[in-house]
Amino acid sequence: MHRTIDLKVKYFGTPVVLLSTRNPDGSANLAPMSSAWWLGDHCALGLGDSAQTSANLRRERECVLNLVPSGLVDAVDRLALTTGRPDVPPRKAAMGYEFVPDKFDRAGLSGLPSDLVRPPRVAECPVQLECSVEQESPLGTSGSGATVFHVRVLRSHVAEELVLPGTHHVDPVGWDPLIMKFCEFFGAGSAIRPSRLAEAWEMPHGGVLTH
């Protein structure tokens, strides 16, 4: 039997990306996101139009996609409910978001210079992809409040221990990505900790461990 329901969230399980961009003053912004879709050396990123990251992508046309292992879940959760916008949008303010000018410091992460783009890489992430923005398009009908940014991977950096010897391939057994599933954190197929984002979205925790 199936039930017909109005799904509030449709995150069925996608890898978490820490997306680094440059702010207008040249400082780095770091945003966790999980609406990313890949094909070849291209990726489509779904982002809300009110995000500082969206403004940075439109202006700078470049970014770094830092793929997060499950072991960095605490760092990612520290970035939940933060924004790089000094003028926090009212909807986000009502959910508990706050302006954080130094996201790397808040997360407890460190930056590395990139080779081909200006935003920094996240040193602690074993996969770092330098990208350029090729085009953008509104998500759905005009006024949806979200945009799909189409980016192309210019250079890939992968931790040595994740590269299969003698190849240019990532070891799928050794790579354990942090997964966002219905706003909850999963790694190696299991729930690993509660999510502040899920609380802000008033999501039921189900089988996820609670505080």
Q: How confident is the model at residue 211 (pLDDT cuts 50, 70, 90)?
A: very low
* pLDDT 10s digits, 155-173: 999 999 999 999 999 998 8
pTM score: 0.87
* pLDDT number for residue 157: 97
* pLDDT 10s digits, 83-131: 999 999 888 899 889 999 999 999 999 999 999 999 999 999 999 999 9
Write out the DSSP string of the chain: -------S----SEE-EEEEEE-TTS-EEEEEE--EEEETTEEEEEEETTSHHHHHHHHH-EEEEEEPBGGGHHHHHHHTTEES-SS--HHHHHHT-EE-S-HHHHHT--EE--SSSSSPEETT-SEEEEEEEEEEEESSSTTSSEEEEEEEEEEEEE-GGGBPTTSS-B-TTT--B-EEETTEEEETTEEEE--HHHHHTT---TTS---
